[in-house]
Structure 1
Amino acid sequence: MITGGTVALLLMIGLIIIALAILFTFVPVMLWISALAAGVRVSIFTLIGMRLRRVIPSRVINPLIKAVKAGLNLSTNQLESHYLAGGNVDRVVNALIAAHRANIELSFERGAAIDLAGRDVLEAVQMSVNPKVIETPFISGVAMDGIEVKAKARITVRANIDRLVGGAGEETVIARVGEGIVSTIGSQIDHKKVLENPDLISQTVLAKGLDSGTAFEILSIDIADIDIGKNIGAELQTDQAEADKKIAQAKAEERRAMAVAQEQEMKAKVQEMKAKVVEAEAEVPLAMAEALRTGNIGVMDYMNIQNISADTDMRGSIGKITDPKEEDEY
């Protein structure tokens, strides 16, 4: 039979179990034990405070354990403040460990600033130890003789940690190197000099200090490939000749149109003159009739005029007759 004391005992045990479950859920006891086992002294109240500040304790304590094991002197406040600022604590700690192993001077504040600036601080440290090769696309330049020369370069760069914040990226380095290649090729009188000495491009470009203001230090610029392109000078001359031809044709067409217009104008004047002649000829009979009425000319004079006109017409008709010899030839 279950008595009232037994029920109270069972209820107390249940409350204790619930309290322990809530305690182990809210307080990361296992994480605290792992930290103590690794030699990282952190109080349980500090972990509870992280929970209250909405900080995931494992995101801070686990990187702290790695840092202490690597011999770095970091505090929970530093890591927690970087986490609250939106940074990646684990990546920063890994970068600090890598820099410490490679004897690269990198403070936590500097690494946190680089991480908050949006750059991969661990990749930057690795690039400082192992330089990176950036390959440019084919960059075209035209020598003074009009021949196009295409060159591809390999740029060996090393990350400059001091200039990662605010320094330009890979695109700027590629653009500056491309500009240097174009100007170097364009300054050569003969394209053959560029083909004979490709290192002339790399030496000239490297001497310009193109890494200033960037997040990298250029170690070397090597010409990986070089090729001949188009004869730009000949194409320009051809285009100019074609343009001159079109201009000449346009001017000739303009002169032809003007000549046609003048011809049409002259034809119009001739037609006008013919019309005036016909008009004047039409007035001749009227004038003769008037002269006969007024007695200025006699009948014999009029007959002589008619005979002369008939004789003239006859001579014109005879002149139009074709020679028989010419007809036989046809």
Structure 2
Amino acid sequence: MQAPLIPAIIAVGVIVVLSVFFYFVPFFLWLSAKVSGVKISLMQLFLMRIRNVPPGVIVPSLIEAHKAGLSNITRDNLEAHYMTGGHVQRVVHALVSASKANIDLSFEKATAIDLAGRDVFEAVQTSVNPKVIDTPPVAAVAKNGIQLIAKARVTVRANIHQLVGGAGQDTILARVGEGIVSSIGSAVSHEEVLENPDSISKLVLKKGLDAGTAYEILSIDIADIDVGKNIGATLQMDQANADKNIAQAKAEERRAMAVAQEQEMIARAQEARAEVIQAEAEVPKALAQALREGNMGFMDYYKLENLKGDTAMRDNISKIKPTDFFDKK
């Protein structure tokens, strides 16, 4: 039972040893490099494994660069870029594309762009083939109060030299939106903008919106423009309603003050009436006192009573209406 197991164990051991050997010494990658004309030794490939640098990334990139005629790209450069967290294959693709398109892009510049977090290969492609960015709907109000909603298409080309430290696509969209709002807002009427929508793009392009960005704006085209609300009329209606509410509040305040003043006058009249009644109650006492003390004679009292009766009679006569003299049927 043990004799047949020995060859199997030896075969498994040989397979494991060969797997480990070819992992640390990628012979076929070395052979592919030699066939492609790239100078690299098995020891260098082994040391890549020791440094945790995958030869499967470095060697194909070296072959691509060599075939494209980029002799300034070395193995040490690619290893250093990989160990700093860069995308080696993306950088090599970008350098090859830039070389074919006659774009001045050095290895140091490409790696700096890549380490800055930008897709350097996409940037080169955008530099060769400009891309179109659609802006979201931008609402603005002309001087006559009519709202316009515009959509623009911005054609941009990547600015290789501004990719490191330059603003991105969001800044372009924000600046273009600001320019559209400013252009529509400066128009006398919305009809003027509808008749010449290209005036918006011309005015926006003059402002140099691509300054300090990673893109160069080639053109701005107004794709669509719609008429929105009458903001001016809405604001006037709101102002009129506000003025009406203020006037109503002031009128209510005046009415409340008038009611308060009326109630105050009624209260004062009631107080005066009470004082008169109280004074009238003191009159008989004063007359009696005057009669007792001899300050007033009987005839004086009699004349006073006649005066009071005459006054009451005149008061009653003044209250009689002319129609009271005729019989009512």
Asked if TM exceeds 0.5, the reply is yes
Residue in 2 that maps onto 1:33? 31
Instruction: Please give the alpha-carbon distance, in whole angstroms, between the structure 2 residues aligned to 1:22 and 1:257.
Output: 100
Match for residue 90 of structure 1? 89
Q: Aligned residue for 2:172?
A: 173
Match of 1:47 among 45, 48, 52: 45
Q: Which residue of 1 aligns with 2:221?
A: 222
> Offset at 1:15?
7.9
174-183 or 301-310: bigger deviation = 301-310
Flag the 1:248–1:12 CA change in 2: closer, same or farther, 3 A: closer
Correspondence 1:107-256 to 2 at 5 A: 107-256=106-255
Q: Using a 3 Å threshold, how does the CA distance of structure 1 residues 209 and 319 change in structure 2: closer, same or farther?
A: closer
**What is the rounded CA distance, in whole Å, between the counterparts of 2:12 and 2:209 in structure 1?**
73
AA of the residue aligned to 2:268: K
Determine the C-alpha separation between the residues in 2 that align with 1:18 and 1:150.
69
Give, in angstroms, the shift of residue 254 of structure 1.
Answer: 2.7
Task: Tell me how far apart the structure 1 counterparts of residues 245 and 9 of structure 2 sit (CA, whole Å).
Answer: 106
Answer yes or no: is the 8 Å Cα contact 2:24–2:45 preserved in 1. no
Q: Which runs of 5+ in 2 are unaligned?
A: 1-7
d(CA) in 2 for partners of 1:224, 1:209: 20
Does 2:65 correspond to 1:67?
yes
Q: Mind listing any 5+ residue stretches in structure 1 that lack a counterpart?
A: 1-9
2:283 — aligned with what?
A: 284
After alignment, is 87-96 or 242-251 more displaced? 242-251
Aligned to 1:81: 80
Is the contact made by 2:95 and 2:107 (CA closer than 8 Å) also made in structure 1? yes
CA pair 325-257 structure 1, distance change in 2 beyond 3 A: same
Compared CA separation, residues 170 and 17, structure 1 to 2 (3 A): closer
Post-superposition offset of 1:212: 1.3
- TM-score, length-normalised on structure 1? 0.85
SS at match of 2:222: strand
Range 300-309 or range 212-221, more displaced: 300-309
Deviation of 1:216 after TM superposition, in Å, equals 0.9
CA offset digits 1:114-156 (Å, max 9, x no partner): 1111011111111112211111122122222222222111111
Q: CA deviation at 1:283?
A: 0.5
What is the letter of the counterpart of residue 87 of structure 1?
Answer: G
Question: How far off its partner does 1:215 sit?
Answer: 0.9
In 2: Cα distance, 1:193 partner to 1:258 partner: 53
Matched to 1:270, the amino acid is A
- Per the alignment, in what secondary structure is the counterpart of residue 134 of structure 1? strand
Work out the CA distance in 2 between the residues paired with 1:101 and 1:155.
26
Distance 1:18 1:226 in 2: 70
Distance 1:14 1:253, change over 3 A: closer
Q: Secondary structure at the match of 2:152?
A: strand
SS of equivalent to 1:124? helix
* CA–CA distance in structure 2, aligned partners of residues 198 and 302 of structure 1: 105
What CA deviation, in whole Å up to 9, does each residue of 1:265-297 have, x standing for no partner?
222221121111011111012112222322344
Shift of 1:262: 2.2
1:219/1:327 CA distance change after superposition, 3 Å:
farther
AA in 1 matched with 2:151: K
| Cα separation, 2, equivalents of 1:243 and 1:157 | 48
Provide the rounded CA distance (Å) in 2 between the counterparts of 1:169 and 1:233: 36
